[in-house]
Amino acid sequence: MTSESSFLQGARLNPEQESAVTSGARFLRVLAGAGSGKTRVLVHRAAFLIKECGISPYEILAVTFTNKAANEMRNRIADLCDAPVKGMWVGTFHGLAHRFLRIHFRDAGLDEPFQIMDTDDQLRMLKRIHKEMQIQDADFTPKQSMGFINREKDEGRYPASGTGMDRQTRLMQEVYQRYQDLCDQSSLVDFAELLLRSLKLFENNPAIADFYQRKFAHILVDEFQDTNAIQFKWLQALLGHDNALTIVGDDDQSIYGWRGAQIENILRFSEKYPETETVRLEQNYRSTKSIIGAANGVISCNIDRLGKALWTAGEQGEPVQLYAAYNEIDESKFIVERIAHFKSKGIPYRKQAILYRSNAQSRVMEEALLHARVPYRIYGGQRFFDRAEIKSAMAYLRLIALPEDDAAFERVINFPARGLGDRSVQTIRDAANAQQISMWQAASRLIEHKALSARAHNSLVQFIELIKGLQTTGQGITLSELVSAMLSRTQLVQAYAKESQEQRQAREENLKELVSAASSFNSITDFEQEDFLDPSMRDMAEDDGFLPIRPKVVEPSNDAKVPAALAAFLDHVSLESGEMQASQDSDAVQMMTIHASKGLEFPVVFLAGLEEGLFPSQMSMNETGRIEEERRLCYVGITRAEQYLTISYAESRRIYGEERRTRISRFVREIPSEFLKEIRLGSVVKPVYHARQQESSLPSGQPASAPNDGSVKVGDRVMHRAFGEGIVLATEGRDARMRVQVNFTRAGSKWLMANVAKLEVLS
């Protein structure tokens, strides 16, 4: 297809973008620099395949890393095609894996329904296993077990046994095996299991794998630099002899190695597939030349990269501002003052962001913002479905859908309190373990045999009847009515009666919002048969004989389908909750870690804490390859800025209660000097050589009282109780914000806060 097509004429693509969109290569690697139009290229390529190449939407699989990105991609493709792209599979790795497992649950060795377990319930189950196996925290904690299990699954491994393991590894494998047995017993699947089990589905069922290899002629993958081992294997399982694979990513923005991402997947892609065509997108449409120059200077110091140089046709812009703070308090006050400055220039708070390496840095920043009465928002703060009252409500809903869910059972068996103490719950747990059944089944048998105290027996009977009653009620009402009924009968709101009015009101509002979420939930299934197969593939599916024939599920308003709606709602919450964010509508300064900022952009960015040991982190300085990932993280932080970027560091910082002297980060030193400008607040600087001449000419004398306003002037000879005698070289700021640079005879040059140091001026 030539670039003269009407579709491309209206696309306004630059030459490199057009090359990527129209490439006929079977394997295409698009290296998309920050702000270079990555998403634009991806959606235009999908639309190009549909509109210009005659590819059916049913034949395209598009993989993203967030549901938000998937929805945006689907909508933008529909706009470009001037029609809904019904049948196109677009989703995250986990969402698509879940879709495969729902369709092929029998072949995957799962019951229907199965439920997705979140990390909180995963940890709860592992705590129970540790207690059961009498594993002490001195050996390893439940969190360490969770990390081990998730890493094993991300590498594609189920529990293993055998010789050659040390004691701790062998014990962790035993925990893994027990954990897996409990998950299978309760029909629970954790996030890592979604990918691993769907991969095994393809590996163990060649007919199913072959069907999808024929179905998906084109596979498009976003953010490929963030893929881990099992995600790459999962993609390979869908690749047959003729499929085309397009990957889009940026090796310079690979910042998730700590959670399993393998930069080698994008770096070595052409070694795996030698016929790969590589297109580089280097024109940046986001930032000024100064910001781009600073970013290029930093990232060019990395060795293991494919190489590209961002450029922009935009304005030069102001140099990157660098501020050397006396300590973290001075740094935070300075940033708040600069925020007010930009606000006065017409830049709203919401378009200004403070980025930091560690969450711990936010506290001092928050205090300064609160003191100045500047509104702020912690991006990625506690999410709606992570709140305790919502998790308890969701646990009740999960029990209604699947009583064998042990994690949900344990969470609410005695919440609100109903007279079932720890001893009674342990009795139920022991019975479940001994008989290898769910806690729900064990509870029913204990009731039948009257094996508990009278009080515990009655309480347990009431609990079982409560859940069964809600199951019956759910058959004849809407999903939102079921949630309302659950809240009313469980008295969850009343459970928080002893909390403060403010906390109680917040929880009540959140629980009401859950009813609203259920009411607005429409998509009760995302793998309807009509949405899965186009007419040309129906015969192939029937001939292969492995696809279940599913009737199309109607909307939740049909009362008879409420149980199906509940199951779909629970899946929706599990898959979506990890990405929920608070509202961004209010005018508030955005605060976040640099990791959380990836994919975002702001006119004004403050990059705080650029110090050795903090950024780069101390841990990264002792591990091979980690410094390069930290440098990529710095590159990500710099390229979030559109117009103004300010970098700050503190010459001393209180860490874990201890005041420590710090050194400026190597990343700052890597920024070319022409793109960097050190700023002072109302500063007066005296040439060093002149100050030294003046120092030698000043007569010695007794300490004299400082001026009434406590200020000092350039050239003053001063005394400090710790550093001794010295000459003032420079001053900046005023009053409580005043800093002075002093060249001490013994200690050398230092910046000090004048009001803290209490310098004495010598006569």
Look up residue 114 and give its DSSP letter: -
Tell me how far CA of residue 296 lies from CA of 240, 243, 611, 621, 643, in angstroms: 39, 36, 20, 22, 16
Q: Give dist(CA 292, CA 268) in Å, integer.
A: 26
**How far apart are the two ends of the chain, measured CA to CA in Å?**
85
Helix (H, G, I), strand (E, B) or coil at 526: coil
Is 82 one of the annotated active-site residues of the chain? no
Catalytic residue among 16, 22, 38, 252: 38
DSSP code string of 187-237: TEEEHHHHHHHHHHHHHH-HHHHHHHHHH-SEEEESSGGG--HHHHHHHHH
Catalytic status, residue 223 = yes
Return the amino acid letter for 449: H
Q: What angle do CA 632, 590, 263 make, to 5 degrees?
A: 20
- 640, 666, 739, 750: which one is catalytic? 640
CA distance 751 to 741: 4
Yes or no: say if 97 and 234 are a contact pair by the CB < 8 Å rule. Answer: yes
Largest CA distance in the chain: 103
Distance separating alpha carbons of residues 22 and 380, to the nearest angstrom: 37
> Which of 213, 253, 427, 593 does the annotation list as catalytic?
253
HSE-up (13 A, CA, CB side) for residue 746: 7
Catalytic residue check, 283: no
Q: Which is the catalytic residue, given 59, 118, 193, 223?
A: 223
Tokens of 338: 């600069």
Among candidate residues 253, 232, 226, 247, the one with its CA nearest the CA of residue 308? 253
Q: At residue 142, what are phi and psi to the nearest 5 degrees? A: -55, -35
Q: Using DSSP bridges, classify how beta strands 352-356 and 652-655 pair: parallel, antiparallel or unpaired.
A: unpaired
452's torsion region: left (phi>0), alpha (psi -120 to 50) or beta?
beta
Helix (H, G, I), strand (E, B) or coil at 640: coil
Q: Which long-range contacts (CB under 8 A, 24 or more apart) does 199-207 make?
A: 199/156, 199/230, 199/233, 199/234, 199/237, 200/108, 201/100, 201/101, 201/104, 201/107, 201/108, 202/234, 202/237, 202/238, 203/237, 204/107, 205/104, 205/107, 205/546, 207/544, 207/546
Catalytic member of 18, 121, 190, 222: 222
Between CA 617 and CA 540 the distance in angstroms is 55
Classify residue 362 as left (phi > 0), alpha (psi -120 to 50) or beta.
alpha
Q: Are strands 739-744 and 724-732 parallel, antiparallel or unpaired?
A: antiparallel
Catalytic residue among 39, 66, 144, 694: 39
Give the DSSP H or E segment for 410.
helix 406-412
Active site annotation includes 305: no
| CB 477 within 8 Å of CB 559 | yes
> Is residue 233 annotated as a catalytic residue, yes or no?
no
Alpha carbon of 585 to those of 34, 69, 589, 590, 708: distances in Å?
25, 19, 11, 11, 48
Is residue 213 part of the annotated active site? The answer reads no
Q: 248-287: buried (b, 16+ CB within 10 Å) or exposed (e) per residue?
A: bbbbbbbbbbeebbbbbbbeebeeebeebbebbbbbbebb
| Strand residue runs (E) in 65-102 | 89-92
Q: Are strands 277-281 and 27-32 parallel, antiparallel or unpaired?
A: parallel
Catalytic residue set: 38-39, 222-223, 253, 640
